[in-house]
């Protein structure tokens, strides 16, 4: 038996203001599905306040209680969630779900953008790209002495329409409507993998930057500061269930919390059979997960359990890295975003960084996004050279704190 395509994701809005809406997902299961769904919900700026998960390894049923924003595009969110579920085929005129096929890599486009500089410009451009569902893969931004900005955005299109003239014209039109006469030119062209590869630069981060962001001493020091969430409590129980390992997690809430947990389990190829998550205002979040390995057995290897718990502890306390370093006479903001084994990373990071700087009235002289191998993991590194010549007066520690709070949803 199958399930009607339109019933895979159902959305019921609350009749009372302030109460959460309810989204249900009912589809075939796959390892990492929860991570993919949570990432999409995070991209749309929707907050998850409660989740119930149930699956037999073949079919899953997930209920999300969520709170949106006034500008949340609910229908589009529903469509994106449906697209993340295993794909469908048609039988007798009715759409049913079938096993997922491996998707082809998305086409990459180069958006070359030139305009007159002003405060908050980069955030405004990033906001337009986000609204259009254009994902920034890499970026290089530079400011010329005569007050102009040259931006190079390597982007992919969630809607897979950027190769069409209409989609390109709509992109230019929306950028023009936001930036007005400041925009000088805007060109969009498809590029090959050899171009994006050359734009990446070295695959390893300079040693001094890696040490500044990832050294054990600095990480340990920052865990006791405002640049980390409170220490999480993770309890493992292998006696409650015959076939599952039970993880009980109590931790401080932050934006993308559920995604951080789900992507970690996905990277370890761990399947969730049953789960419940609750986030309460002004209290810690509580999460219970009955999990098992890909072979259908509970986790009894103590070294693997220690590894999973240690990784979860770090992801819950410091899901991203934020620091400010000297680059000659200027200050460079560095933000590191972990990349899943599937190649995906936390969405809207660049959006949050530029918004925090815009709110502080701090200009951006140049910016770069690249992916680097650090230890046994890949990280997406954002390097933003700040223009502190406007007399904003923000102490450097306040800049780091503001960016961190924006990324964590504590602004």
Q: Which of 25, 79, 82 shows the shortest CA–CA distance to 55?
A: 25
pLDDT at 201: 52
Cα separation, 95 vs 249, in Å, equals 39
Cα separation, 144 vs 386, in Å, equals 14
pLDDT at 98: 46
Q: Which two tokens stand for residue 380?
A: 């997406």
Q: 51: which strand partners?
A: 64, 277
How far CA 53 is from CA of 56, 93, 271, 316, 349, in Å, comes to 10, 31, 11, 20, 27
What DSSP assignment string belongs to 58-71? SEEEEEEEEE--TT
Cα separation, 177 vs 166, in Å, equals 16
Q: Residues 267, 35: contact at Cβ < 8 Å?
A: no
Sheet of 21-28: strand order equals 9-12, 21-28, 59-67, 47-55, 271-278, 285-292, 245-251, 233-237
Q: Which two tokens stand for residue 29?
A: 């299961």
Distance between start and end Cα atoms, the chain: 47
Cα separation, 254 vs 353, in Å, equals 16
Q: Which two tokens stand for residue 285?
A: 């979040």
Long-range residue pairs from 14-23, CB within 8 A, at least 24 positions apart, any chain: 20/49, 20/50, 20/65, 20/66, 20/67, 21/65, 21/66, 21/67, 21/68, 21/74, 22/63, 22/64, 22/65, 22/66, 23/63, 23/64, 23/66, 23/78, 23/81
* 143-161 core/surface letters (b: 16 or more CB in 10 A; e: else): beeeeebbbebbbbbbeee
Q: Residues 148, 129: contact at Cβ < 8 Å?
A: no
Task: Return per-residue pLDDT of the chain as tens, 411 residues.
Answer: 455 566 899 999 988 877 899 999 999 998 899 999 999 999 999 999 999 999 988 899 999 999 999 899 999 999 999 999 986 443 334 444 444 455 678 899 999 989 998 889 999 999 999 999 999 988 888 888 888 999 999 999 999 999 999 999 999 999 999 999 999 999 999 997 656 555 555 555 666 666 666 665 455 555 555 666 777 899 999 999 999 999 999 999 999 999 999 999 999 999 999 999 998 776 789 999 999 998 999 999 999 999 999 999 999 999 999 999 888 788 999 999 999 999 999 999 999 999 999 999 998 988 999 888 888 899 999 999 998 665 556 788 899 999 999 999 986
Q: pTM of this prediction?
A: 0.88
Quickly tell me which residue has 């530029």 as its tokens.
354
Is residue 110 helix, strand or coil? strand
List of domains in the chain: 7-90+230-315 (3.40.1020), 103-196 (3.30.70.260), 319-410 (3.30.70.260)
Q: Which of 32, 11, 25 shows the shortest CA–CA distance to 82?
A: 25
Q: If you count them, how many residues does the chain have?
A: 411
Cα separation, 189 vs 191, in Å, equals 6
pLDDT at 387: 82
Backbone phi, psi, residue 212, to 5°: -70, -30
Q: 339: which strand partners?
A: 345
């Amino acid at each position: 038996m199958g399930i009607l395509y339109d019933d895979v994701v159902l959305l019921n809005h609350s009749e009372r203001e302030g109460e959460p809406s309810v989204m249900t997902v009912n589809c075939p299961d796959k390892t990492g599905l929860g991570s993919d769904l949570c990432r999409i919900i995070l991209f749309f700026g929707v907050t998850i306040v409660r989740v119930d998960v149930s699956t037999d390894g073949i079919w899953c049923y997930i209920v999300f209680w969520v709170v949106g924003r006034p500008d949340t595009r609910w229908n589009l969110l529903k469509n994106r969630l449906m697209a993340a579920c295993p794909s469908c085929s048609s039988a007798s005129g009715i759409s049913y779900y079938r096993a997922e096929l491996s998707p082809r890599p998305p086409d990459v486009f180069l958006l070359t953008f030139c305009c007159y500089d002003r405060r908050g410009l980069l955030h405004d451009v990033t906001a337009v790209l986000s609204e259009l569902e254009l994902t920034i893969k890499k970026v290089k931004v530079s400011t010329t002495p005569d007050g102009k900005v040259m931006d190079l955005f390597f982007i992919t299109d969630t809607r897979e329409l950027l190769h069409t003239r209409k989609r390109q014209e709509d992109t230019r039109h929306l950028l023009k409507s936001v930036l007005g006469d400041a925009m000088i030119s805007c060109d969009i062209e498809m590029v090959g993998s050899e171009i994006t590869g050359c734009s990446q630069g070295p695959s390893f981060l300079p040693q001094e930057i890696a040490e500044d962001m990832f050294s054990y001493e600095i990480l340990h020091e920052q865990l006791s500061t405002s640049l980390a969430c409170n220490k999480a409590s993770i309890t493992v129980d292998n006696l409650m269930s015959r076939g599952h390992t039970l993880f009980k997690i109590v931790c401080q809430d932050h934006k993308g919390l559920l995604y951080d947990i789900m992507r970690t389990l996905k990277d370890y190829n761990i399947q969730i059979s049953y789960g419940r998550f609750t986030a309460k205002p002004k209290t810690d979040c509580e999460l219970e997960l009955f999990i098992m390995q890909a072979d259908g057995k509970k986790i009894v290897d103590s070294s693997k359990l220690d590894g999973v718990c240690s990784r979860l502890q770090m992801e819950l306390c410091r899901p991203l890295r934020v620091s400010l370093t000297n680059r000659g006479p200027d200050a460079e903001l560095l933000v590191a975003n972990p990349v899943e084994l599937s190649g995906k990373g936390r969405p809207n990071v660049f959006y949050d960084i530029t918004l925090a700087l815009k709110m502080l009235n701090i200009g951006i002289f140049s910016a770069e996004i690249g992916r680097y191998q650090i230890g046994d993991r890949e990280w997406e590194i954002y390097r933003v050279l700040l223009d502190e010549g406007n007399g904003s007066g923000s102490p450097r520690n306040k800049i780091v704190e503001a960016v961190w709070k924006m990324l964590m949803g504590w602004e």
